[in-house]
Amino acid sequence: MQSNVYVLRPESGTSPTLVSDSANTARDAGEHLLAMQQNDGHIVFELEADATIPAEYIFLNHFLDKREPQLETELGEYLRSLQSKTHGGWPLFHEGGFNISASVKAYFALKMLGDDKNAPHMIKARNAILAHGGAEKSNVFCRYSLALFGQIPWRGVPAMPVELMLMPKWFPANIWKFAYWSRTVIAPLTILAALKPMARNPMNASCREIFCEPPEDIKVWNFNHTGSRWGEFFLQIDKLLHPAEKHVFPRMKFRKWAIQRSLDFIKPRLNGEDGLGAIFPAMANTVMAYDALGYSPDHEDFITALSSCRKLVTENRELRGDKPRYVQPCVSPIWDTSLAAHGLLEAGVAPDDKRIIAMCDWLRDLQILDVKGDWAINAPDLEPGGWAFQYRNDHYPDVDDTAVVGMLLHRVDPDRYAESIRRAVVWIEGRQSKNGGWGAFDIDNNADFLNTIPFADH
């Protein structure tokens, strides 16, 4: 079959060899993209992150005692493959430097899978973790996982009272002041912080050996990580909240109201099998929160939330071959399809090529036109018209995806997609903040002082 991918004419004076190589590379890349196009027109790649998401998936399974032996074997193989041969720990990006939180999560996950702590790779990892201050130096999200498995006391994490969900919009620290990904992670996490459930931990895994000091003996866990006055203020607030969390809030009537408010936030945003916020940490916290509240495994919401986590496992054997599966933080079909189409157009594919039109039609149909998401808190009268990053994430479209898709539709056929373009332009213009800029997900979400709270150390 003859390729329809062409390279635009180069400038005069360019090396013929370079032109030929560039042309061949562009042609091959274009053909590869088109070969990945699915029947409905879209393209989606795997979204690989770091060791933390596969480790958290293992945590979730062992919290629930819902093990998946074959998958966990592959996840263990995947985690071991990411371990640095240089420093012995796990980085946040390929061949990156040591990261304490990623290393603690990966090490503990491997312990759950049965890796012997005296195996060479575990000794190397443990030595690296201890050399960097031990697991007590890991970030807040890591320490919450450790608390759920009884590895550290609950005073080892910043207070995150579920009563936060009751705070009105005018209150300086309310749920709407947080970024979308933090908002969706925090809502179920506050339930876990209130109930303090204990993971089932079927393998009775422990990671005490990666602490420099026994966790129960550590006096100070939370610090002013910014060194600012706001940071010191919030650190003192945290010190006051901890005893209140333990002795006062659980006895108050509004605790039940707050938990219900959190559930009321989560329910309309469950997002089917695409999950709360369409990001794994929020989904996993939701499953654990439902479990802590006593939801049965056959409860509709529990099934939906757990299914959303399972869907992030890479299952494309045709693409992966014999490589072990891993867990993605989310999926990226809108972004992948729109950028692929732009690239094909740059390579000379005609705008009226049926495969380009199929991409654009698929994107047009995923424009969010009838849901006013969290962005509407600060723009209640604005007409919806954005795109999300994932297949469905109707409460959280973003400006950058919307701009890239809108530019593509205008570039391909401004008449065919006129209404979609109009809605996108109106929505983007209405999303401008008072300071003149745009945030990806929210308007005027610039409460920078919240970056100084103990919870925001990650």
The residues that bridge with 327 in the sheet, in sequence order, are: 313
Query: CA 427 → CA 128, 178, 424, distances in Å?
Result: 49, 21, 5
Residue tagged active-site, from 301, 361, 400, 413: 400
Greatest Cα pair distance in the chain: 79
All residues at 6 or more sequence positions from 409 whose CB lies less than 8 Å from its CB, including other chains: 360, 363, 364, 417, 420, 421, 424
Structure tokens at 104: 């603690």
Is residue 161 within 8 Å of 245, Cβ to Cβ?
Answer: yes
Backbone angles phi, psi at 249, to 5 degrees: -55, -40
Three-state DSSP state, 248: coil
Helix/strand/coil (H, E, C) string of 42-53? CCCCCCCCCCHH
Crossing angle between the packed helical segments 333-346 and 354-365, to the nearest 10 degrees: 150
Which amino acid makes up residue 268?
P
400 catalytically annotated: yes
* DSSP secondary structure string for all residues of 148-166: HTTSS-GGGS----GGGGG
Is residue 340 within 8 Å of 324, Cβ to Cβ?
Answer: no
The three-point CA angle 452-261-378 to 5° equals: 60
**Unique residue bearing structure tokens 């559930």:** 263
User: What sign has the CA pseudo-torsion 391, 403, 380, 168?
Assistant: positive
Q: What is the C-alpha R_g of the chain? A: 24
- CA–CA gap between residue 444 and residue 374 (Å, rounded): 12
Three-state DSSP state, 100: helix
Residues noted as catalytic: 400
